[in-house]
Structure formats: C-alpha cells, structure tokens
Amino acid sequence: MGQLTLPHLHLLLNHFPTVGVVVGLGLLLLALIRRSDDLIRASLELFFAIGLLTLPAYLSGVAAEAAIEGRAGVATAAIEAHHDAALLGFVVMLFTAAAAWLALWQGQRRARPARGSVWAVLLLACATLALMANAADLGGEIRHPEILTASDAAATADSGALGAEWLRSSSIKAFANDLPWAWPAAETLHFIGLGLLFSVVLVGNLRILGMMKSVPFTALHRLLPWGILGLALNVITGMMFFIGASSQYTENGAFYWKIALMLIAGGSFLYMTVSESIWALRPGEDAAPMDKAIAASALGLWVAVMYCGSMLPFLGNAF
C-alpha cells in the first residue's frame, strides 16, 4: 500500500460536506415534521460538526490541485471551476454552521431552539447542498473531460463561482498580495479574533475547572457569541492567508497539526455550548470530573493551536 498523500486525504474528506449536509438536512426535516426539539438539536450539532470538517476538505483540495495540475488528462479549466465552486460552497457552509451554533446557544438559554434560527439553518443548508453538489459535479470533470460536451467544456471555466467574481480564488489572491495594506490588516484582525476567542475559552473553562466558583456558568454562557465571533474572524482571515500563499501552507507540516488540533478544540467549544451538566453549574458548585477533564483538554488544545500557528515560520519553514 502506498503512502497516504494529501490528494488521497482530499478524496476521503470531500464526501463529508456533501453527504453530511444531506444527512443533516434530512434529520432537520424529520425533526420539524415530528416537532422534536431533541432531533432539532442533534441536527444543529451535526451541521456544526460538518462545518468543522469542511475546513480540512477544502484545504486538502488546494493541496490536491497543486499535485495534479499540469498532468496529462487533467482539465485545467475544470480545476479552476471546481476550486471556485468549492470555495463558495465552503463559505456558505460556514454560515450554515454559524447559524446552527447560534440556534444551539439560543436554545440552551430558552430551553428550546428558536424557530427563526432553525428555519434560517434550513434555508442555508438547502443553499449549501446545491453549491456542494455543483462543486462535486465539477470535481468529477477534472479527471474525466470526456464526459463534457463541447458547450459544457466552453462554459466550465465560468461556472465555478456562479458569477461571484469577488469570491474567486484568483480575486482573493490578488487582493491579499497586490494591496500593501491587505495582509497587515488581516493579521491585525486575526489577532483580535484570537484574543476574543481565547479570552472566552479561558474564562469559561477556568470556571469549569473550579475557579470563580461564585459565578454561575449561565453568566459566562452569555460570552460565548464573542468567542464564536473571534473564531469567525480567525477563519476568514486565515483563509485569506491560505489562498494568498497556498504553497507556504500546503507544504508545511505544522499547519496541518494546527488544523487537526483546531477541529478537536472546536468540538470542545460546542460541548461547552450545549452541555447540560455545565449549564447547571450554580454559584459554589463543582463541575463533574469528566467536564473538568474536557475543560483542561480544551485549554491545552487551544494553546497548542496558537503554538503551531506562531511556529509556522520555524517548524515548517514558511515565509
């Protein structure tokens, strides 16, 4: 058996966004038909998890693009169209995951998910499914140009981003590299987002570990949207960095450690959002040993994410 490469990893991961959205959408529709709050929460948690998994699916796709570009039998126009379609689907999937998280956060505070937020997730999920299906279809044409008709082949290069010129990878790359202020501004926003995210994670998990016992966790739960805002800033600016200088990241082992650790840490953030045992912590009460173990792990994971990000120029020789 040959060594597992990033193109292999992409072939494995690229099914999660499409199939996952289908499963999540079906579960959400079933929950709405049955009027089951538990099923609604399960579907929302699934959408958040799919949003996390879409990140490595997209990143490994860029690495796969670099590996096969220029090979015989590979349609370059199809690669570009697939990349732009995948980028658009990825962005809308992130909106879906964020809306799902917001519905979960509201549901924890109101004892049931807010109907308006749930319907917003449903609409976004439908849009995500359409975009992911388009990206998957274009991806199949990369190694199989023979399935295209002459008119299809002529239109492929323009079909990827569905008219969203500003959201094409080439436009983002030009923005990041050609404007002298773009990269420093994004770095500033990246660190602001990191500060927001880690501050909320630190305070919330320290309470779970037994500090600030006079504060009920419900009070700290109000801060979680600031943490998700910080995570969103990090993802947006991080994607600009990645698209602007892809080779600096796709060939950097420390970057993949950062992404893997961030996925697990994102799961711990979701746990802090929806855990009933943590939510029930009153002033003076101690968290359960399992909750404390998860909180300690979460802090360690986020510190490791920051370490890997800071060490990219040194461990992976980037830039």
- pLDDT (tens digit per residue) in 144-193: 555 554 444 444 445 444 545 656 777 888 888 888 898 899 999 999 99
Only one residue has tokens 């929302």, namely 44
Cβ contacts of 85 within 8 Å, gap of 6 or more: 131, 134, 135, 138, 159, 160, 161, 162
Asked whether residue 52 carries a pLDDT value surpassing 70, the answer given is yes
Which of 19-23, 154-158, 250-254 is most confident? 19-23
The pLDDT assigned to 1 comes to 45
Report whether 147 contacts 141 (CB < 8 A). yes
Mean pLDDT score across all residues of the chain: 84
Report whether 145 contacts 73 (CB < 8 A). yes
What is this structure's pTM?
0.86
Asked whether residue 295 carries a pLDDT value surpassing 60, the answer given is yes
Helices within the chain (DSSP H only): 6-13, 15-34, 37-68, 76-110, 115-140, 150-159, 169-178, 182-208, 217-221, 224-244, 246-250, 253-274, 276-279, 289-310, 312-315
**What band does 318 get if pLDDT is binned at 50, 70 and 90?**
low
CA distances from 305 to 18, 107, 242, 273, 319 (A): 27, 29, 16, 20, 19
Domain ranges of the chain: 1-164, 168-319
